Amino acid sequence: MVGFDFLLIDNEHGPGDVISLLHQLRAAAASDTTPVVRIPWNDPIYIKKILDIGVEAVMVPMVETVEQAEAAVAACRYPPRGIRGIAHTDARASDYGLKAKEYLETASDNVFIICQVESATGVENVEAIAAVDGIDMVFIGPFDLSASLGRPADFDNPRHKEAMAKSEAAIKAAGKSMGGIGYGPYTPKDLYERGYDLIVGAADVGLLRDSALEKVKQHSPS
């Protein structure tokens, strides 16, 4: 409601499950902010569950190969284009069956699929991953990438900068949207100027923490 374009619901590192996600989707529906859900792993069963409750943008972590990217796409699409199980007559996504026929016909084209490239292996294969049909966005994960390169959270490492640049060039060459995290030397403004389409610029924990620290600072005797 304050103007964020999207809300990233993090079920990879966060404690949430499918039930808590359902409540978050209901809350998000009161605004114009689009929810994007990062799933714990590239799991077709988990993907099926969250699509059935109405998720339309799925972020898949730690995609390292073409096969993994293709599996993510298949999990988001009904047969014959994919492997998603069909329960459209009862799913929340189809208004509990009130729009079952329409949903079955259109759902496979209405899921925005984001693959995270966040390892040295992923960067090696980033051109091929970005070229996979059905992948709408490639999201570069700087933290896990830095750890994969042997220097956790060292964004000044020349190898990290080289991996970032290679990934950015490959994503742009494939004509796909590009996402990333504004952190450290990679500020949201910097990422925007480098052509990123989706930028994570804040987190709920950080906003609460920083606000609380500021209040303590304001009211503490100097």
Count Cα atoms within 13 angstroms, Cβ side, for 110. 13
**Region 190-201: what's the mean pLDDT?**
97
Three-class SS of 82-140:
CCCCCCCCCCHHHCCCCCHHHHHHHHHHCCEEEEEECCHHHHHCHHHHHCCCCCCEEEE
Indicate whether 38 belongs to any domain: yes
Indicate whether 198 belongs to any domain: yes
Whether residue 219 lies in the annotated active site: no
Integer Cα distance of 115 and 127 in angstroms: 13
Indicate whether 168 belongs to any domain: yes
Domain count, the chain: 1
What would the pLDDT profile of 83-105 be if each residue is shown by its tens digit?
Answer: 999 999 999 999 999 999 999 99
Reported for 20-29, long-range contacts at CB under 8 A and 24+ positions apart, including other chains, are 21/50, 21/53, 21/55, 22/53, 22/92, 25/53, 25/54, 25/55
Indicate whether 195 belongs to any domain: yes
What would the pLDDT profile of 13-65 be if each residue is shown by its tens digit?
Answer: 999 999 999 999 999 999 999 999 999 999 999 999 999 999 999 999 999 99
Percent of the chain with pLDDT over 70: 99
CB 174 within 8 A of CB 125: no
Percent of the chain with pLDDT over 90: 95
What is the CATH classification number for the domain harbouring 38? Answer: 3.20.20.60
Report pLDDT for 20.
Answer: 98
Indicate whether 125 belongs to any domain: yes
- Of the residues 13, 23, 160, 219, only one is catalytic, namely 13
Report pLDDT for 221.
Answer: 83
**Chain-centroid distance, C-alpha 112:** 10
Inform me whether the pLDDT recorded for 176 exceeds 90.
yes
Q: Which of 77-81, 120-124, 170-174, 181-185 has the lowest mean pLDDT?
A: 181-185
Over the chain, what is the mean pLDDT? 97
Q: Which two structure tokens, joined as six digits, stand for 34?
A: 């689009």
- Residue 211: give the domain boundaries: 6-76+111-219
Indicate whether 124 belongs to any domain: yes
Report pLDDT for 185.
Answer: 86
pLDDT interval class at 1 (50, 70, 90): low
Integer Cα distance of 184 and 163 in angstroms: 16
Strand order in the sheet with 137-140: 6-10, 34-38, 57-60, 112-117, 137-140, 177-181, 198-200
pLDDT interval class at 222 (50, 70, 90): low
Indicate whether 32 belongs to any domain: yes
Report pLDDT for 117.
Answer: 99
Inform me whether the pLDDT recorded for 211 exceeds 90.
yes
